[in-house]
A = this chain, B = another copy of it.
């Protein structure tokens, strides 16, 4: 189907008003299906929000993020899920279950983006969760558990909404400045929370029956293996370092090469050394220098200071520690060789999060019943699911990213894969409810 026809058809479907169907308890034999065209139409409409010439820019607490939340709140309402915003700024909507004694099943994701990102990282899982609840209602399926749909705030800034939700947060963290330039505290107020009472939003171990999140893979493993579904085994641990390299500003023409203390040269040597170390041994570990700023950043001045970040990830905690030591040694060695000083600051330190075998089985069984090909695999990217895994059994469903691309304007997941992922989510919820 051509894009224009698809959008017209999608818009037509999206315009059909929600009609409540009287809930009935019925035995479900065949796997159920979501309304895939409707779900894809939501994603297509959402693509316009925060779209810029360089990609989707819906960074948390920006105007585009707020517009995205407004759009999403409408989807909750159309689904009959009266949405509420908790004091931490996360959006929740509930499909009531028949048994008040059971803890709710939680499904969802986020809708904020990175700078110059794409339209699927987050929105797919958020909208599929809303569609799952709406499909259950429309198809007259009454669960025993209540089904809570959540849209976490500010995932890309370091899973802030889900960290708040498990209480892994301090009042001091509220003053940290997010990518939008606003503090977390200001952000919470902006999105309708109440930063002074964020602890009211905290959930404890046992409050949630299980958490299931659908997400794009953000890598190329499923596509390479030509598989439709990833059953996530766990989320790699992550360390973010901010490295400040201090040299000495001097004239780029009049200062002989052997009298320099060039912070940029030191930063370049460090970046190459980090890459060599990470690629120099077998394994799936990754490290990235993604952010780097130079002072004074002038063509004819030897750089006095460079601040850069290193993003290090692996499923093995011991390996994270070992590479941390290696990077710090590089700093000492390169500092000594270039007459510069390296200072390391740990910005983020998240432990690997292991998925619940039970939830993995529900996902696996659902995918099998739907006739979808699949594999178990780790997640190289961080997700809100890693936070919720601290207080509840967690599982994640991955669908392929075309070309393995994400955090990029070219991020794309095919409409059929969107539907496969949502169908697996719907049936995994039903499996979890049994």
Interface set of A (CB-CB < 8 Å, partner B):
54-55, 114-117, 121, 156, 179, 217-221, 236, 238, 240, 248-259, 262, 264-265, 267-272, 275, 278-279, 284, 286, 288-304, 309, 311, 313, 347, 379-382, 404-409
Could you give 6 example pairs across A and B, Cβ below 8 Å?
A116-B296, A117-B301, A156-B300, A221-B256, A253-B379, A299-B309
Q: Known: A116-B249, A295-B116, A302-B288. Is A220-B255 also a contact (CB below 8 A)?
A: yes
Q: Contact: A300 with B255, CB < 8 Å?
A: no
Known: A262-B275, A264-B289. 16 other contacts (CB 8 A): A54-B296, A219-B251, A219-B256, A236-B253, A240-B299, A250-B405, A252-B290, A256-B284, A257-B275, A257-B279, A258-B279, A264-B292, A265-B275, A289-B303, A291-B297, A291-B299
When distances are taken between beta carbons in the complex, the residues of chain B under 8 Å from A347 are 299
When distances are taken between beta carbons in the complex, the residues of chain B under 8 Å from A238 are 253
When distances are taken between beta carbons in the complex, the residues of chain B under 8 Å from A156 are 300
Q: Contact: A311 with B252, CB < 8 Å?
A: yes
Q: Known: A255-B286, A289-B268, A380-B255. Is A407-B300 also a contact (CB below 8 A)?
A: yes
When distances are taken between beta carbons in the complex, the residues of chain B under 8 Å from A406 are 250-251, 254
Q: Contact: A253 with B380, CB < 8 Å?
A: yes
> A297 touches which one: B288, B293, B379 (CB < 8 A)?
B293
Q: Contact: A115 with B380, CB < 8 Å?
A: no
A201 to B269, CA, bound (A): 47
- What is the minimal beta-carbon distance from A65 to any residue of chain B, in angstroms? 15
When distances are taken between beta carbons in the complex, the residues of chain B under 8 Å from A300 are 114, 156, 240, 288, 290, 311, 382, 407
How many copies of this protein are present in the complex? 2
Q: Contact: A407 with B290, CB < 8 Å?
A: no
When distances are taken between beta carbons in the complex, the residues of chain B under 8 Å from A408 are 248-250, 301, 304
Q: Contact: B254 with A381, CB < 8 Å?
A: yes
**7 closest cross-chain pairs (CB), A and B:** A219-B254, A268-B271, A218-B254, A252-B288, A254-B380, A249-B408, A268-B268
Q: Known: A254-B219, A380-B254. Is A301-B295 also a contact (CB below 8 A)?
A: no
A301 to B381, CA, bound (A): 11
A265 to B272, CA, bound (A): 7
- What is the minimal beta-carbon distance from A298 to any residue of chain B, in angstroms? 5
Q: Contact: B272 with A268, CB < 8 Å?
A: yes
When distances are taken between beta carbons in the complex, the residues of chain B under 8 Å from A304 are 116, 408
Q: Contact: B254 with A217, CB < 8 Å?
A: yes
- What is the minimal beta-carbon distance from A120 to any residue of chain B, in angstroms? 12
When distances are taken between beta carbons in the complex, the residues of chain B under 8 Å from A253 are 218, 236, 238, 286, 311, 313, 379-382
When distances are taken between beta carbons in the complex, the residues of chain B under 8 Å from A409 are 249
Q: Contact: A115 with B298, CB < 8 Å?
A: yes
Q: Contact: B265 with A115, CB < 8 Å?
A: no
When distances are taken between beta carbons in the complex, the residues of chain B under 8 Å from A297 are 115, 290-293
Q: Contact: A298 with B290, CB < 8 Å?
A: yes
When distances are taken between beta carbons in the complex, the residues of chain B under 8 Å from A117 are 301
A347 to B298, CA, bound (A): 13
> A254 touches which one: B265, B268, B379 (CB < 8 A)?
B379
A286 to B269, CA, bound (A): 18
